[in-house]
Amino acid sequence: MNRRYHIVMPPRFFNTYSREIEELEPRDPAARPIRMYTCGPTVYSRAHIGNFRAYIFEDLLQRHLELRGYKVHRVMNITDVEDKTIRGAGEADVPLQKFTEQFKAAFFEDAHTLRIKRADEYPAATDHRYIDRMTEMIGVLISKGLAYQADDKSVYFRINKFPDYGKLAHFDLTQLQSTGRVKHDEYDKEHIGDFALWKAWDEADGEVKWDSPWGQGRPGWHIECSAMSMALLGDQIDIHCGGVDNIFPHHEAEIAQSEGVTGKKFVRYWLHCAHLLVDGQKMAKSLGNFYTVPDVLARGYTGRELRYALLRVHYRVPLNFTWEGMNEAHESLGRIDEWLARLRECSASVRLARSHAGQARSVPYTFEDALDDDLNISAALGFLFESIRETNRAMDQNEMDAASANAWLEWWKRINTVLDLEAETDVAIPDQVTLLAQQRENARREKNWKRSDELREQISALGWEVRDTKDGPKLTRGAGSA
């Protein structure tokens, strides 16, 4: 592709709200970063790798936007109070905080293993600042007639008063009315679809309770995200993500609550990833068909391999998790590792290639173009492996010079800010070392052996070793180097 005629279009993503691919037009990108909210883990047990598929998709999105020059401010909440956390703490007979702490720690450990970039903020729902925000929002909703306290003392959102309810999920409210069966414990609600904003305390909640104008109780799950998002990112945000199971009712409810309070459009772009499957079924705690990150590591795979396995399929396509897929990830990464080692050797060699010298630095931009197209990672990786094949062939035929190899390494460095797939032990050759090796090669050509030895020592002092091979000098990490 000729770079001069290449027109860069803005990134485009499938917006669940409109069901269309839309160009990204962040609000005021020069003055403020893209505001991104990602629903985080419910810390009642260790997250499974299905959850991490969602977090890796969000990581890919953030990193790609940053590669494209956008600044991103990302918030990921920690849901540390809802039915499952309360039940778990009760069963373990420990305070809620103590119960959830261990799973928060496990979440951060696993996210680190999978090289997921840290969000800027990780608000926890039980933080009193956000609880205050939630009660404040609920108060506004009641004052506007959008919420009511029922006989059971809980406060519910009145979905009939919010005409846009159902728009995100493309859900017909009348169907809900005609087919819904009112469960016994929901008899207080005006409409079966009304969801709890504030749940009145009952015995099963034990010590978990906060004061509110409606009596003691705890927030509903949906209002937690609306309040934390508003507290940290303002009334209106650019991008909101999650897995497809979050669309209804969680994200639908978030829209109703946030827009109900502010009267402004809450989210510009809704992005949702498809599920990670096992034998064609959603990986889920409730189905018992799940693996955690430590389960996968215990089978001898690395975090990097799991990252690759979860990343490599387009986020809107369901991905079946198999051990064969993990083996493929292992092989693909091996190919990348070998390629990088060869490129590094080639970039360290001082000799000129037989040809191709004029083509140095003409590296392609197709990788990020593919990601602009609704994060088409399969196409982006396809392009990477095609490049690996071609450059390996050029190296086989001695048609790659050091400058070209360096240009490819620079290209890799750029795309790896998105992929983050380099082996931990791989260390790029510092420019200073390359320069010294070139000076040494010149000294050798001039038969200045004293100078050549001095330069070898300088290279060695920097932790590198120069070997003179039949293909010319090669640089490797010196023994004992860090």
Asked if 42 is part of the footprint of ligand AMP (rule: CB under 6 A), the reply reads yes
- Tell me how far apart the alpha carbons of residues 44 and 393 are, in angstroms, rounded to a whole number: 51
The interface region with ligand AMP, picked from 148-156, 275-283, 380-388, 449-457 by CB under 6 A, is 275-283
Asked if 245 is part of the footprint of ligand AMP (rule: CB under 6 A), the reply reads yes
Sequence-distant (6+) residues with CB within 8 A of 94 are none
**What φ, ψ does residue 409 adopt, rounded to 5°?**
-65, -40
Which residue's C-beta sits nearest to ligand AMP?
A: 243
Query: Which of Zn ion, ligand AMP, none sits in contact with 245, Cβ below 5 to 8 A by type?
Result: ligand AMP
Asked if 249 is part of the footprint of ligand AMP (rule: CB under 6 A), the reply reads no
Smallest separation (angstroms) from ligand AMP to the CB of 124: 14
CB 293 within 8 A of CB 113: yes
The interface region with Zn ion, picked from 221-229, 284-292, 373-381, 430-438 by CB under 5 A, is 221-229
Tokens of 136: 């404040």
Smallest separation (angstroms) from ligand AMP to the CB of 37: 11
Asked if 242 is part of the footprint of ligand AMP (rule: CB under 6 A), the reply reads yes
Asked if 123 is part of the footprint of ligand AMP (rule: CB under 6 A), the reply reads no
316 vs 414 by CB, closer to ligand AMP: 316
Asked if 134 is part of the footprint of Zn ion (rule: CB under 5 A), the reply reads no
List the x/- string, 288-307, binding to ligand AMP by CB under 6 A: --------------------
Query: Which of Zn ion, ligand AMP, none sits in contact with 225, Cβ below 5 to 8 A by type?
Result: Zn ion
276 vs 306 by CB, closer to ligand AMP: 276
List residues bridging with 22 in a β-sheet.
13
Up-side HSE of residue 16: CA atoms within 13 Å toward CB?
27
CB atoms within 10 A of CB 309: 27
List the x/- string, 29-58, binding to Zn ion by CB under 5 A: ----------x-------------------
Question: Could you list the residues that contact ligand AMP (CB under 6 A)?
Answer: 39, 41-42, 50-51, 53-54, 242-243, 245-246, 273, 275-276, 282-284
